């Protein structure tokens, strides 16, 4: 039996509605809204880059002959080249990992808590990915070392992205802090141009804090790219599977 | 005046914070809701994984190239195959003709490429043009596309080549396979452990994730009781 992309999409949307309400209670409305917006944009940028560079593909289902057989065919709502359901799934997994790591390790440092969150997210995706690739919800086409038909790069990417997102969220929204390495850069850019003051992150109002969060997420994307590029290069060298010829 | 403005802004921030700090009871309820939803998601993935076991057994399924959709117009009295190819009513296969396994370019028993069965039938020549006008349509649809071009091979008898022109035995770089090989193959995992490899893998991961979420729920509930 084939679980269509529409099954995945419907499942994700229904669970998302309940999850968002629960997360609003758990985090607070504004914080959850910021987390949600940040997570969707962050995952959207990363997945769009992955599609653009040919590492992954969400189109298999949409252009397949099944498209005619089933009503609505593939995904219904797209954000460019990435279906909304994939971004919502990433948000739900990241928020869950953030909550679980905070509950299980309340006194741990932010960095180790975020690392645990990243590890739990890898567990989630290790379960989801085989089902997803089997049913062509998305496909991987990357010269890499594969385990259970999932490129290891993808699992490293899940860990890195969830880890970085959680670090940024906790350092900006939950416990606003100025990082020494970033302070000078932030003072010259977002604080001077948008806030017109060099106040400490702790003393910013909520609206400014939200903008600072988004600004730091952009920096996190750059850090993520710097982290994943050597990983891709290493796995490219020791690959056990090549790329499928073009024509997707 | 400046001090007053800073004070007001800080005040505004604290108001937002107060608004943002719901009571612990609401927070606990929210966390439990989220974790239950994610447990349902994990269970859903487990069920979908179990349902997809037969697909996962097919090694070609993962790397299968999508087939372009073929236009199909249904005419009354005609049957339609899953691939969209129509078999005109009244067309009968000659008795005794063995069923030919469908083989798509990417290969794989579970592949459902449109027009697959028709290609196989026309290739085997088992569809005679006795079914009237429908046969022309069918044959037109079933016209095999040249996917493989056979290159003539030249076999030189031993010793016929001049000295110094030995056949090139230089070690050429072996191209990487397009399908995952070895333990990393999903179909191998699926057929492993008596055909229950994938089910065991999914079950173990599901249990681990649900236990992690249960631990979090239990801690939240303990916190609620202690207060």
Task: Render pLDDT for B122-163 as a digit per residue (tens, 0 to 9).
Answer: 333 333 333 333 333 333 333 344 444 444 444 444 434 444
Least confident stretch, A32-36, B23-27, B218-222: B23-27
Q: Which helix (H) or strand (E) holds A78?
A: strand A78-79
Distance from CA of B33 to the nearest CA of A (A): 5
pLDDT winner (highest mean) among A43-47, A190-194, B158-162 = A43-47
Distance from CA of A55 to the nearest CA of B (A): 13
Across B68-94, average pLDDT: 45
Q: Which residues pair with A147 in a beta bridge?
A: A150
Across A103-117, average pLDDT: 94
Distance from CA of A181 to the nearest CA of B (A): 26
Q: Which residues contact B188 (CB under 8 A, 6 or more apart)?
A: B59, B182, B197
pLDDT of residue A49: 94
Across A89-107, average pLDDT: 95
Could you give the CA distance from residue B105 to residue B67 in angstroms, rounded to a whole number? Answer: 10
Which chain A residues are closer than 8 Å to B67 by Cβ? 64-65
In chain B, residues 14-43 whose CB comes closer than 8 Å to chain A: 16, 19-22, 26-27, 29-35, 37-38, 40-42
What percentage of chain A carries pLDDT values higher than 90?
A: 51
| Cross-chain residue pair B49–A130, CB shorter than 8 Å | yes
pLDDT of residue B214: 96
CB proximity B44 to A under 8 Å: yes
At residue A42 the predicted structure's pLDDT band, cuts being 50, 70 and 90, is: very high
Looking at per-residue pLDDT, the higher value among B160 and A224 belongs to A224
Best residue of A241, A242, A246 to probe chain B, by most B CBs closer than 10 Å: A241
Which chain A residues are closer than 8 Å to B189 by Cβ? 148
Closest residue in chain B to residue A152, using alpha carbons only = B184
pLDDT winner (highest mean) among A121-130, B142-151, B185-194 = A121-130
Instruction: List the one residue out of A94, A110, A92 whose CA is nearest residue A176.
Output: A110
User: Is this structure's pTM higher than 0.95?
Assistant: no
Mean pLDDT of chain B: 61
Percent helix, strand, coil in chain B, to 5, is 50, 0, 50
In chain B, residues 136-155 whose CB comes closer than 8 Å to chain A: none
Q: Which residues contact A229 (CB under 8 A, 6 or more apart)?
A: none
Q: Which residues contact A63 (CB under 8 A, 6 or more apart)?
A: A74, B66, B68, B69
Q: Following CA atoms B101, B107, B110, B113 in sequence, which dihedral angle do they give, to the nearest 10 degrees?
A: -90
Closest residue in chain B to residue A5, using alpha carbons only = B48
Q: Which residues contact B211 (CB under 8 A, 6 or more apart)?
A: none
Q: How far is CA A26 from its chain centroid?
A: 20
| Cross-chain residue pair B30–A128, CB shorter than 8 Å | no
């Amino acid at each position: 039996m084939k679980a269509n992309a529409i099954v995945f999409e419907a499942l994700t949307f229904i669970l998302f509605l309940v999850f968002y309400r629960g997360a609003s209670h758990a985090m607070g409305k504004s914080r959850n809204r910021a987390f949600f917006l940040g997570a969707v944009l962050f995952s959207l940028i990363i997945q769009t880059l992955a599609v653009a560079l040919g590492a992954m593909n969400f189109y298999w289902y949409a252009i397949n002959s099944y498209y005619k057989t089933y009503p609505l065919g593939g995904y219904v709502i797209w954000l460019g080249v990435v279906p909304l359901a994939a971004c919502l799934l990433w948000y739900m997994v990241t928020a869950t990992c953030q909550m679980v790591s905070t509950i299980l390790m309340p006194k741990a440092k932010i960095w180790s808590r975020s690392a645990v969150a990243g590890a739990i997210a890898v567990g989630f995706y290790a379960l989801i990915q085989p089902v997803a690739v089997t049913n062509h919800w998305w496909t991987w086409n990357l010269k890499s070392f594969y385990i259970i038909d999932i490129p290891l790069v993808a699992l490293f990417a899940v860990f890195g992205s969830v880890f970085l997102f959680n670090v940024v969220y906790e350092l900006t929204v939950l416990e606003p802090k100025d990082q020494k390495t970033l302070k000078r850069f932030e003072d010259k850019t977002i604080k001077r141009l948008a806030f017109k003051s060099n106040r400490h992150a702790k003393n910013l109002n909520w609206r400014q804090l939200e903008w600072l969060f988004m600004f730091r997420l952009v920096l996190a994307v750059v850090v993520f790219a710097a982290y994943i590029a050597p990983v891709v290069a290493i796995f490219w060298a020791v690959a056990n599977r090549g790329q499928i010829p073009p024509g997707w | 005046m400046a001090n007053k403005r800073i004070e007001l802004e800080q005040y505004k921030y604290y108001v937002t914070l107060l608004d943002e700090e719901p009571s612990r009871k609401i927070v606990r309820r929210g966390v439990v809701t989220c974790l239950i939803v994610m447990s349902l998601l994990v269970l859903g993935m487990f069920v979908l994984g179990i349902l997809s076991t037969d697909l996962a057994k097919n090694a070609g399924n993962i790397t299968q190239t999508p087939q372009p959709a073929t236009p199909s117009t249904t005419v009354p009295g005609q049957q339609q195959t899953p691939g969209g190819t129509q078999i005109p009513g009244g067309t009968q296969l000659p008795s005794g003709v063995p069923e030919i396994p469908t083989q798509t370019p990417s290969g794989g028993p579970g592949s459902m490429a449109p027009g697959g069965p028709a290609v196989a039938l026309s290739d085997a020549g088992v569809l005679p043009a006795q079914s009237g006008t429908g046969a022309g349509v069918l044959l037109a649809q079933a016209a095999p596309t040249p996917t493989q071009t056979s290159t003539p091979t030249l076999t030189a008898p031993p010793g016929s080549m001049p000295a110094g022109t030995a056949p090139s035995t230089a070690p050429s770089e072996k191209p990487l396979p397009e399908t995952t090989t070895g333990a990393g193959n999903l179909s191998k995992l699926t057929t492993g452990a008596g055909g229950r490899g994938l089910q065991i893998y999914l079950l173990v991961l599901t249990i681990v994730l649900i236990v992690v979420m249960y631990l979090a729920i239990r801690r939240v509930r303990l916190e609620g009781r202690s207060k």
